[in-house]
């Protein structure tokens, strides 16, 4: 039951205090406590839009605390009224914002509910908006084929119903997938990296500005990208701590392309610092990610860096093995299982199986025993 003061006005001071408690809880007791505080504030709110906004924020905190059932319940409570045909489902706005911040799990829940209801009702008017947001969520999670399919459908329908915003979002998704798979620049962070690769070094003032932005970033994905940008430009004694900070931000979200870019950049700097073993771990992880995304130019960059880290460059070149295939072949030849190889090289078991098939074909062997014998003779 919602509480109101005399005159029908909600207790603004109390709601403000609860929001302050929620913000403080995120730094202390955690997201579960923040969600409870925001739910209390929502229950005190008479305005439907403000109440829904607080419930959606509580849903994000519930999701981050690991309580998916509560997150779903709060999203349902936030949008429990029937929408007019001219109203855009507020879950779509929330889902897009969550995905942009890196909270793709809660974004998927929100957009899936909206998309299912729109299809069931046959509501063509808002279907392009839902499709465009769903495509963006798929893009953020690295499911590029699904992003292309949903984005294409959304773009087609947006023209029919004259939804310019949905059309712009769908085109953005399609263009980003093309950019990922062609290796072209995407953002200011790409421009910065391109400058760094040419040998450009920013001024101390510029570095300080990048650090301020990174420390001020609150959402995990922007924070990860900002930390990576700092790591690219600081000196030898500081880049590792900024890359590690970026990886910590990545750890709580699923945005594989940006994670792959962070690992690639980290591996490149480690190699240039002479830390080849540590560099290989990062580069192999990046290569595995880019391979799963079919991002050929990015895979090629990781392959080139791996070639430069090889302890015995060119040993397998006569057989046409890629650097990653060489690492897998040598590990298997020592008697490791596919699962052990996958764990050691930061790959999936399916990726190891795929590489083994190529290795057998290129080396003219039929099984692991013959592969081991081949490498023993070479030694």
| Nearest CA among 215, 208, 345, 213 for reference residue 283 | 345
Give the pLDDT confidence of 292-321 residue by residue, as tens digits: 888 888 888 888 888 887 644 344 444 677
| C-alpha to C-alpha distance for 302 and 72, rounded to whole angstroms | 39
Q: Is pLDDT above 80 for 10?
A: no
Return the pLDDT at 319: 62
* Axis crossing angle, helix 188-197 with helix 220-233, rounded to the nearest 10: 20
Residue linked to tokens 């947006």: 158
pLDDT at position 225 is 92
pLDDT at 140 over 70: yes
pLDDT of residue 16: 61
Given pLDDT bands bounded at 50, 70 and 90, which one contains residue 276? confident
Name the token pair of 38. Answer: 């925001």
306 closest CA partner among 347, 364, 337: 347
Which whole number is the average pLDDT over 331-357?
A: 80
What mean pLDDT comes out for the span 20-41? 64
Q: Are 321 and 361 in contact (CB under 8 A)?
A: no
* Res. 229: pLDDT tops 90: yes
DSSP annotation of 89: P
């Amino acid at each position: 039951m919602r509480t109101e003061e005399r005159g029908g006005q909600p207790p603004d001071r109390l709601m403000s205090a609860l929001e302050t408690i929620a913000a403080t809880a995120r730094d202390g007791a955690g997201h579960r406590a923040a969600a409870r505080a925001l739910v209390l504030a929502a229950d005190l709110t008479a305005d439907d839009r403000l109440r829904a906004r607080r419930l959606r924020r509580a849903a994000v905190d519930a999701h981050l605390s690991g309580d998916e059932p509560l997150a779903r319940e709060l999203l349902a409570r936030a949008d429990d009224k029937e929408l007019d045909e001219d109203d855009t489902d507020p879950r779509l706005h929330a889902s897009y914002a969550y995905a942009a911040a890196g909270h793709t799990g809660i974004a998927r829940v929100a957009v899936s509910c909206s998309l299912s209801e729109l299809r069931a009702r046959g509501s063509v008017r808002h279907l392009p908006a839902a499709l465009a947001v769903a495509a963006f969520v798929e893009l953020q999670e690295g499911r590029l084929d699904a992003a292309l399919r949903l984005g294409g459908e959304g773009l087609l329908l947006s023209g029919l119903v004259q939804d310019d915003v949905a059309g712009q979002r769908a085109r953005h998704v399609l263009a980003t997938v093309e950019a990922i798979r062609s290796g072209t620049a995407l953002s200011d962070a790409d421009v910065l990296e391109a400058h760094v690769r040419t040998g450009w070094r920013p001024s101390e003032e510029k570095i300080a500005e990048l650090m301020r932005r990174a420390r001020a970033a609150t959402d995990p994905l922007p924070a990860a990208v900002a930390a990576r940008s700092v790591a690219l430009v600081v000196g030898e004694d500081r880049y590792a701590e900024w890359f590690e900070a970026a990886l910590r931000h990545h750890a709580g979200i699923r945005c594989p392309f940006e994670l792959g870019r962070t690992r690639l950049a980290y591996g490149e700097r480690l190699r240039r610092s002479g830390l080849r073993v540590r560099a290989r771990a990062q580069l192999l992880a990046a290569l595995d990610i880019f391979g799963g995304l079919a991002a050929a130019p990015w895979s090629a960059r990781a392959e080139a860096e791996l070639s430069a880290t090889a302890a015995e460059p060119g040993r397998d070149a006569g057989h046409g093995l890629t650097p990653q295939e060489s690492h897998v072949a040598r590990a298997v030849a020592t008697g490791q299982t596919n699962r052990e190889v996958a764990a050691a090289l930061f790959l999936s078991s399916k990726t190891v199986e795929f590489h083994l098939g190529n290795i057998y074909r290129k080396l003219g062997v039929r099984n692991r025993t013959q592969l081991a014998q081949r490498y023993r003779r070479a030694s």
